[in-house]
């Protein structure tokens, strides 16, 4: 039977999560909340500002956006209109393509800071190993980290081959790898690689973009625990030590998704859901973890 390889620190974390405000210490020394709101496909409108403000009131502290989402400004507005200080909110954003190398990253981060109306961004990711010049972009993000424009540097949709290029070059490892993760898309080799090297795993599409909500076994567990299917899937992610960032446009679901810290799936149910999902693989969106070296760019 398969089980993820967890470090002692990660094992402790997955057992001790008691609230949505719990945090994990990243390998660069900074801390990140263990649950967040994803803003993919959330319109750049006044509703998004209201959604973010409401999420903060409910207890959310981590928000994930990107230049390509076109809602950084609304996220910033929601934070400004909330009752909490900027320092209490954790912002993640991303550069979509590294085609323009260093100059593109500088421009992208500058635009993100302006749109978000903040002095720094907590975590900045390379959205995917695509467009070439990935190492140039990665080095530029570390320059910006040294200047205080961003606090931590991470990646998204990176496979083992991409992470190995960074490691073998002697560069600092990314503190986070954001990939699709749920019972039906477990990406076990990447997960175990990241855990061996202390890279935190942020789980996007933790409910398979809704495709897993009507699965018979998930529904069976939902009835057993008197929870919603979404809460079962999110709890699986939490207990695996991932950082889930479910997205929603609905206030009721925003609240529902956050209410996963007052129950636990039994060890047996965790094993059964993991084994069941592994036998029925499903990728709900793009998955560029297998992008080629030519898409990654020069290696040096």
127 assigned binding-site residue: yes
Mapping DSSP onto H, E and C, the string for the chain reads CCCCCCCHHHHHHHHHCCCCCCEEECCCCCEEECCEEECCCCCCCHHHHHHHHHHHHHCCCEEECCHHHCCHHHHHHHHHCCCCCHHHCEEEEEECCCCCHHHHHHHHHHHHHHHHCCCCEEEEEECCCCCCCHHHHHHHHHHHHHCCCEEEEEEECCCHHHHHHHHHCCCCCCCEEEEECECCECCHHHHHHHHHCCCEEEEECCCHHHCCCCCHHHHHHHHHHCCCHHHHHHHHHHHCCCEECCECCCHHHHHHHHCCCCCCCCHHHHHHHHHHHHCCCCCCCCCHHHCCHHHHCCCC
- d(CA 195, CA 90) in angstroms, rounded, equals 22
Which residue out of 4, 40, 60, 69 is catalytically annotated?
69
| Annotation marks residue 300 as catalytic | no
Output the known binding site. 127
Binding site for substrate, residues? 127
Residues known to be catalytic: 69
């Amino acid at each position: 039977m398969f089980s993820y390889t967890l470090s002692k620190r990660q094992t402790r974390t997955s057992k001790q999560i008691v609230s949505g405000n719990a945090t994990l210490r990243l390998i660069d020394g900074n801390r990140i909340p263990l649950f967040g709101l994803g803003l993919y496909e959330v319109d750049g409108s006044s509703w998004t500002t209201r959604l973010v403000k409401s999420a903060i009131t409910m207890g959310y502290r981590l928000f994930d956006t990107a230049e390509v989402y076109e809602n950084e400004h609304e996220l910033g507005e929601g934070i400004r209109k909330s009752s909490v200080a900027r320092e209490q909110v954790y912002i993640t954003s991303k550069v979509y393509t590294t085609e323009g190398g260093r100059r593109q990253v500088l421009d992208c981060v500058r635009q993100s800071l302006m749109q978000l109306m903040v002095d720094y961004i907590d975590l900045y990711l390379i959205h995917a190993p695509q467009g070439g010049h990935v190492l140039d972009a990665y080095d530029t993000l570390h320059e910006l980290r040294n200047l205080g424009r961003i606090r931590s540097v991470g990646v998204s949709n990176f496979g083992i081959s991409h992470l190995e290029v960074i490691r073998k070059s002697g560069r600092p490892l990314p503190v986070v790898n954001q990939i699709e993760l749920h019972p039906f898309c477990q990406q076990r080799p990447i997960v175990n690689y990241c855990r061996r090297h202390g890279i935190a795993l942020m789980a996007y599409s933790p409910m398979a973009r809704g495709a897993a909500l009507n699965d018979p076994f998930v529904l069976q567990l939902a009835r057993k625990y008197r929870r919603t299917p979404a809460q079962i899937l999110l709890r699986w992610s939490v207990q695996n030590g991932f950082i889930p960032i479910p997205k929603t446009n609905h206030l009721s679901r925003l609240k529902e998704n956050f209410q996963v810290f007052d129950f636990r799936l039994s060890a047996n149910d965790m094993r059964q859901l993991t084994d069941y999902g592994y036998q029925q693989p499903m990728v709900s969106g793009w998955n560029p973890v297998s992008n080629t070296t030519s898409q990654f760019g020069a290696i040096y």
